Structure 1
Amino acid sequence: MTAETTHEPLTYGNTLRELATDQGVLRYHEAGEGPPLLLLHGSGPGVTGLRNFRGNLPVFAARFRCLILEFPGFGVSDPTDQHPMMAASGAVTRFLDGLGLDRVDVIGNSMGGIVGAQAALAHPDRVRRLVTIGGIGRGIFSPAPGEGIRLLMEFTEHPTRERLVQWLHSMVYDPSLVTEELIEERWRQATDPDTLASARRMYGKAAFAAAASAAAASDAPPYWATLHRLKARTLITWGRDDRVSPVDMALLPMRTIPDVEVHIFPDCGHWVMVEQKHAWESAVLAFLTRADDA
């Protein structure tokens, strides 16, 4: 019986779980009962799955068995020797296998949306519905990388509190959301030596340049060029005022994913589930609970 069914408050301690795998321990948070709902976090300094979704967890746990996976390389689950993006994709498969889950719905924030889409492409029978929050696709009109990604690279190269605050402000439309408490918890996690080293594998300037060169030289298509193969019914959600992944990125997946809907929220930056919490939760719940033949 979970904290939700016993009406206990959902806390870090009573939702935290561990799953031993052949590549180390995956940690996750679990709450609620019902159909399984996998929540995948984004990247960035001091991120964790629980921090991404803790405000939404009570609402979704009332209808679903919520599983917030902590990706390797972000300071919670055991790290691997892989690039964090590659480790995340493998972690999803190991996680579903380890819990014996044949089919799930997925909510992915930013990087988590990309990982969710990759999982749905690789295992179309395992993802029923997919919800993404920003991040997915590629820029059409806006310069790349976006402002938030550039600030993230600057922080990763030279981590200071000032650079962290600048990055956090790029994530939101409403600057009052960047509180001292948020800054402090992000700073502690982001400056952990192992977490910082992992972040530099993703967002250090040399790593970013190397990844771009490798992508240009590869014969394999980027994930966004394969979205037309996606079988899962998909809801793309986005903040109109996103300065990390500008909203024009949604145009390509909107046109290529076969069964897709798009919901754009006003006065909202990259953290749609935070800044437009109630409207976003309402739209996502309606999408996830709609009959399959509707």
Structure 2
Amino acid sequence: MTTVTSEITHDSTYRLVDTADYQIQINEAGDGDPVFLIHGTGPGATGWSNFEANIRALAADFRCVAVTMPGWGDSNPQSVATGRDQGAAVTQLMDAMGIDRAAFVGNSMGGAIGMVMATEHPERVSHLVTMGSGIWGVNVMAPNGMSEGIRIIFDTYEDPTPENFQKLVEVMCFDPAHATRELAEERSRTAVSRPEHLRNWLEVMRAGVGATGFAEAGEKMARSDVPTLIIHGRDDRTVHYETSLRAHAVIPDSRLLMFGRCGHWAQLEHATEFNATVKHFLEHH
């Protein structure tokens, strides 16, 4: 698929891809080496809402595929009964699109999916970029228990009111100027249009099922040779930057960039530098 950068919109890049087990929403633009951009968790999240500004910039040089994972947006539901094997979903998507190998850029949960791919299917991953993600472990600097952002994510899944969506986008950003009413309304519309995604996420979390392979991938990254760029906001109130310090210590071929005055969405709050850094990393490592 070829899209001129100036014509990149949600509708011009949107399509549904049928895989062996799923129907998956993507927004695709650009030519060149493929780059999969994978969103984080949270009600109303989609590949487009997480990466709109990045697709517009990176599509000038790469084939950008913003993925909306099963359990979000117009993609198939995932429940306790079906399980949440996001690595299998991504692998099937690559197969359906005829893509053998790609770079992965993942925010939060998306970074964990990238680590699953890097450890379980390393032959299919050229580069890994994580932001607001990292490797979980015993906290040294961060407080224990749920972070402020995680609590608001749960609150919004349980009570998807416009007020809670506004709180959600605000807690993700350091600068409130980025937590726009338009972004909150976009997330709200997407979430309430698929109430089964809200119910399923809560059921999965309450059942303690989690996503397949996330914890194991963090441990296995110590043996990974995938070039990895780790990005984190120093002021992240959802996932503490300690997780990225740990990832940098564990992953052999890694480099770490930490933004000051930045929350959970570095790709939004520092889009220009983020895009330039990712482009340089993909082209020179």
Q: Same fold (TM over 0.5)?
A: yes
Match of 1:186 in 2: 187
Q: How far does residue 27 in structure 1 lie from its aligned partner after superposition?
A: 2.0
Q: Does 1:171 align with 2:159?
A: no
Q: Identity over the aligned pairs, expressed in percent?
A: 36
1:77 counterpart SS class: coil
| 187, 201, 219: which one aligns with 1:199 | 201
2:156·2:164 contact (CA, 8 Å) conserved in 1? yes
Give the CA RMSD over aligned residues. 2.4
For residues 136 and 85 of structure 1, what CA distance do their matches in structure 2 show? Answer: 23
Q: How far does residue 18 in structure 1 lie from its aligned partner after superposition?
A: 2.4
State the one-letter code of the partner of 1:110: S
2:239·2:264 contact (CA, 8 Å) conserved in 1? yes
For residues 148 and 83 of structure 1, what CA distance do their matches in structure 2 show? Answer: 27
Match of 1:69 in 2: 67
Match of 2:278 in 1: 284
User: Which digits, 9 at most, give the CA deviation of each residue in 1:58-107, with x for residues without a partner?
Assistant: 21111111111111111211224458982422211101111221111111
State the one-letter code of the partner of 2:152: L
Which structure has the larger Rg? 1
Q: Does 1:237 align with 2:211?
A: no
For residues 11 and 243 of structure 2, what CA distance do their matches in structure 1 show? Answer: 37
2:79·2:203 contact (CA, 8 Å) conserved in 1? no
For residues 152 and 40 of structure 1, do their structure 2 counterparts lie closer, same or farther at Cα, with a shift above 3 Å needed?
Answer: same
Worse-superposed segment, 273-282 or 79-88: 79-88
Worse-superposed segment, 245-254 or 113-122: 245-254
TM-score scaled by structure 2?
0.91
1:55 counterpart SS class: helix
Worse-superposed segment, 111-120 or 173-182: 173-182
For residues 84 and 75 of structure 1, what CA distance do their matches in structure 2 show? Answer: 17
Between the two proteins, the alignment pairs up a number of residues equal to 281
2:258 counterpart SS class: strand
2:38·2:67 contact (CA, 8 Å) conserved in 1? yes
1:18·1:27 contact (CA, 8 Å) conserved in 2? yes
Match of 2:141 in 1: 141
Match of 1:150 in 2: 151
For residues 147 and 82 of structure 2, what CA distance do their matches in structure 1 show? Answer: 20
Unaligned runs of 5+ in 2: none
1:54 counterpart SS class: helix
For residues 8 and 250 of structure 1, do their structure 2 counterparts lie closer, same or farther at Cα, with a shift above 3 Å needed?
Answer: closer
State the one-letter code of the partner of 2:199: A
Q: How far does residue 152 in structure 1 lie from its aligned partner after superposition?
A: 1.1
For residues 61 and 221 of structure 1, do their structure 2 counterparts lie closer, same or farther at Cα, with a shift above 3 Å needed?
Answer: closer
Worse-superposed segment, 84-93 or 20-29: 84-93
Match of 2:45 in 1: 47
TM-score scaled by structure 1?
0.88
Match of 1:33 in 2: 31
Unaligned runs of 5+ in 1: none
For residues 172 and 84 of structure 1, what CA distance do their matches in structure 2 show? Answer: 33
Q: How far does residue 222 in structure 1 lie from its aligned partner after superposition?
A: 3.5
